[in-house]
Amino acid sequence: MSGFFAKSRITAQPGYNRWLVPPAALSVHLCIGQAYAFSVFNEPLTRIIGVSVSATDDWKLTTLGWIFSLAIVFLGLSAAVGGKWLEKVGPRLTMFVAACCFGGGFWLAALGVYLHEIWLVYLGYGVIGGIGLGLGYVSPVSTLIKWFPDRRGMATGMAIMGFGGGAMIGAPLSVLLMDMFKSATSVGVIDAFLVMGGLYFLSMMIGALTIRIPPADWQPSGWSPPPVANKMISNAHVHIDQALKTPQFYLLWLVLCLNVTAGIGVLGQASVMIQEMFKGSVTPAAAAGFVGLLSLFNMGGRFFWSSASDYLGRKNTYFIFFVVGACLYTLIPGMGQLGNMGLFVLLYALIMSMYGGGFATIPAYLADIFGTLYVGGIHGRLLTAWSTAGVLGPVLVNYIREYQLAQGVAKADAYNVTMYIMAGILVLGFICNVLIKPVHEKHHLKHDQFDELDGIYPADEH
Amino acid sequence: MQQQQPKSTSLVLLITFWLYVAIPLLWGVASTIKKAMALFG
């Protein structure tokens, strides 16, 4: 069985078309992106006993909110812990485990709903599903970077765009399945969980079975590394554990964390914010449409900005995120006061494109700084920044808003200070990005060290 | 001849595999755009 998952079994043969790798990555990311759409289950989950209306013993929304939070926390933890393992065992086994965890997590959560035991739902979707999310997220990244040394940003952008797109599939699919299975005695969540668990397991397995890694010395035909090396693109490699001893890792951690904190904080408030800033002219349905539009820009930004970073350079791309982002956050309150909803929507959409772009560009930035050998593992460890921001962003925005309202500020104006603070967060990100320099060569891996380190490279790739 | 065969096979596979991920993604995007229309309606 281990032979089936061995790196030697998934090393591409001559003539293999590298454009088969992005769909393999997408077949995983389009599944795990469902996590962003989990909230569509929240309301039906409050009516499991009462069915038409919530009964006294039904779960409360506050209880259910922990399912998504746990999943995101375990995404970060599993990516951090599993990243090194991924580099050792390769993407197929990692994707297989991710498929088992994500699909199995749904099934366990279905059992939890059936027995009405919330801890089983937490364990199923939150913990086990969250581990599937983390392993699935990082599993194809280093493989894509190795297949596309000429377009690292575009390659990882395609996969990470899939994570954004996964929510767009997951939300209508969940609604469709619940509508199909609901009856006088059921809201249809259990059956929807079972079907989705099965579909996602199968789709992720297709990714696991079709992923291929390039031979160790492979290069795209007709391409060779640029003769004049960019100082910010290293040809050397830094070991995954050594990367933690460099200031660059922590600066990049902050760059991701601050970019995500600013974006995730306002994304969660977008629906309420547009309704309060343009009171009377935006219905709840229109506000939901606004959130949908933002998710499109979030997804598109992942591909656009990461592809653009191949030409602009990673540091310059983040420079744009932080400078333009800070300006846009500062302008938004003015758009609210002017009553210009069109510009408000446009500015918000641009912010969301850069929020998504931040996620998608970071793996290529890591590959430029630390080399490609351990980039999957290093990326996994960096994703703890996402988990941190996932808690920090919403808490910060909610706290600031509540404080403003307690001070007697009008609801429509309560977001102004929030926006200025978010702009300040981006300024901090800008400073961290400016401080990023190439890694000192004392951290670089010497070629004779390759075989000694964890058996990762190159012994098991030949 | 043996080197030519995998190329044509991979082209069919390539299109199939891309369609496999593109169709659900386009369905999701279309559903989202339909929902977003409410903002401009």
Chain A residue with Cα closest to B38: A286
CB-closest option in B7, B18, B32 to A295: B32
Range among A299-308, A389-398, A406-415 with highest mean pLDDT value: A299-308
Please state, in angstroms and rounded to a whole number, the distance separating the CA atoms of residues A29 and A19: 16
Q: What is the average pLDDT score of chain A?
A: 90
Angle at A363 between CA A366 and CA A316, to 5 degrees: 70
Task: Please provide the distance, in angstroms rounded to a whole number, between the alpha carbons at the two ends of chain B.
Answer: 59
pLDDT score recorded for residue A461:
42
Task: Write the DSSP symbol of residue A125.
Answer: I
Residues A59, A46 contacting (CB under 8 angstroms)? yes
Chain B residue with Cα closest to A286: B39
| Statement: residue A397 has pLDDT above 90 | no
Least confident range from A286-295, A360-369, A422-431: namely A286-295
Least confident range from A58-67, A83-92, A452-461: namely A452-461
Please state, in angstroms and rounded to a whole number, the distance separating the CA atoms of residues A345 and A351: 10
Looking up tokens 């199939």 gives B16
Question: Does B17 contact A24 at a Cβ distance shorter than 8 Å?
Answer: yes
Residues A318, A365 contacting (CB under 8 angstroms)? yes
Contacts of residue A293, defined as CB under 8 A and 6 or more positions apart, other chains included, come to A345, A349, B32, B36, B39
**A134-182 confidence digits (pLDDT tens):** 999 999 998 999 999 999 999 999 999 999 999 999 999 999 999 999 9
**Chain B residues with CB inside 8 Å of A296's CB?**
29, 32-33, 36
Chain A residues within 8 angstroms (CB to CB) of chain B? 13-17, 19-20, 23-24, 26-27, 30, 162, 165-172, 206, 210, 282-283, 285-290, 292-293, 295-296, 299, 345
**Which amino acid type is present at position A6?**
A
Average pLDDT over residues B13-27: 95
Please state, in angstroms and rounded to a whole number, the distance separating the CA atoms of residues B41 and B24: 26
Higher pLDDT, A284 or A227: A284
What ipTM was reported for this prediction? 0.86
| Statement: residue A47 has pLDDT above 60 | yes
Please state, in angstroms and rounded to a whole number, the distance separating the CA atoms of residues A410 and A174: 37
Please state, in angstroms and rounded to a whole number, the distance separating the CA atoms of residues A292 and B39: 10
CB-closest option in B3, B10, B27 to A17: B10
Angstroms from B25 CA to nearest CA on chain A: 6
**Tokens encoding A373:** 């050998």
**Tokens encoding A19:** 């454009």
Average pLDDT over residues A107-117: 97
Angstroms from A435 CA to nearest CA on chain B: 38
CA of residue A451 relative to chain centroid, distance? 32
- Sign of CA pseudo-dihedral A218, A139, A35, A107: positive
CB-closest option in A16, A206, A286 to B39: A286
**Residue to substitute from B5, B32, B33, B37, interface A, most A β-carbons within 10 A:** B32
Nearest residue to A240 (alpha-carbon basis) of A134, A87, A110, A389 = A87
Angle at A228 between CA A226 and CA A233, to 5 degrees: 70
**Tokens encoding A221:** 């035909």
pLDDT score recorded for residue A456:
55
Range among A213-217, A233-237, A241-245, A449-453 with highest mean pLDDT value: A241-245
Angstroms from B24 CA to nearest CA on chain A: 7
Angstroms from A366 CA to nearest CA on chain B: 27
Query: In a 10 Å sphere around its CB, with 0-12 CB exposed, 13-18 middle and 19+ buried, how is residue A8 labelled?
Result: exposed
**A74 C-beta neighbours (distance < 10 Å), count:** 23
The full length of chain B comes to 41
Angstroms from A315 CA to nearest CA on chain B: 30
| Statement: residue B2 has pLDDT above 50 | no
**Chain B residues with CB inside 8 Å of A289's CB?**
35-40
Task: Write the DSSP symbol of residue A128.
Answer: I
Nearest residue to A288 (alpha-carbon basis) of A270, A309, A302, A276 = A270
Q: Which residues pair with A183 in a beta bridge?
A: A186
